[in-house]
Amino acid sequence: MATGPATRGAGQAAGALGGVLLLVAAALPWSGRGAGSALALHRVGDLVLSGAVDAWVPRWAGLAVYAVPLGGAALLVAAGLGGRAGAAVAAGAVVAAAAGAAVVLVALDRVGRTGTGAGALVAGAGLALGVAAAVLARPAPPSHPADGEGHTPGV
C-alpha cells in the first residue's frame, strides 16, 4: 500500500495514541468480575511473579504482563521514528503486546476471570491503532515512471 505524507502522519498519530492506550491498559483491571477484577494489570503481574498463584499460573506469565506496556512504549518510539524504521518498530510492538495480552487473558481465565475489564478493551483499541500505524506509517516504495530515458514503471 503506497502512502503519502498525510497518510504517514496519520499512521504516526495512530501509533502514538495506540501506545498511550497500551500503557494506560496496564493500569486498569482486565477482568470484569472475579479474579483480578480489582487489580490493575501490572499488579496482577507482580502477584504472578511473587509465586503466590503458582498452582494456577506459571511465573513466566507474570513477565508476559509487561509485554503490553512495553509494546505501548515501543509504539510511541515508532511514532517518533516514522518511515520504514518506525513501521518495523510498530509491527514488532504490536506483536509483542498482542502476545502479552493473549497470555494475560489465558492466565486470567485459568483463575476464574468472568467478563472483560476496561484494561482488555483499552488494550484492544491500542492494538488496533498499532496495526494501523504499522500499515500506514511506511513510505511508498520508490517508483520510476516511464520518462523516455529507459526507465520502466515498477523497475
Residue 16's closest CA among 65, 64, 82? 82
pLDDT tens digits, 76-126: 998 888 788 888 898 999 999 999 988 888 777 766 666 778 888 999 999
User: Which residues are 33's β-sheet partners?
Assistant: 114
Parse the chain into domains and list their residue ranges.
Answer: 5-135
Single-letter amino acid code for the residue at 82: G
Q: H-type helices in the chain, by residue range?
A: 5-25, 41-50, 60-65, 67-81, 83-110, 118-136
Stronger pLDDT, 122 or 6, i.e. the higher one: 122
Percent of the chain with pLDDT strictly greater than 90 = 26
Mean pLDDT, rounded, for 31-56: 79
Q: What is the overall mean pLDDT for the chain?
A: 81
Task: Using alpha carbons, list the distances in angstroms from residue 30 to 38, 116, 131.
Answer: 9, 6, 21
CA atoms of 36 and 41, how far apart (whole Å):
8
